Amino acid sequence: MRKALSCFLTFLMTLSLLEVRIHSTPVSAADANLNATFIANRFVPVGYGRDGEFLDGRDFPWQRAGEQVWGRMGYGMPDSLTAIRIMSVFLQI
């Protein structure tokens, strides 16, 4: 019985490899896309707001005046053009 079942399943799997076109319907593209997602990125320069106004004492619109956002206190983000690496710590020269 197990041998007959395994032979039958092998036959069905082998049969599924063949392409059968009994009731195939042609596929066509839609005329219009009704529900679409559009994402537009806008890059704002550092020191300017979203509307292009200059920010006094801030780099970003969400930053408070005097708040440091690059790096952390006592270890600022180095300038990559002038920084050197000493023992896995970047130091600005």
Residue 73 inside a domain? The answer is: yes
Enumerate residues 6+ apart whose C-beta is below 8 A from 54: 47, 48
Q: Could you give the number of structural domains in the chain? A: 1
* 48: number of Cβ within 10 Å: 15
pTM: 0.35
Each residue of 23-78: pLDDT tens digit? Answer: 777 788 878 777 777 787 888 888 888 888 998 888 888 888 877 777 666 666 66
Residue 46 inside a domain? The answer is: yes
- Helices H / strands E in the chain, number of each: 1, 4
Residue 6 inside a domain? The answer is: no
pLDDT score at 42? 80
pLDDT score at 7? 93
Domain of residue 48: give its range.
37-93
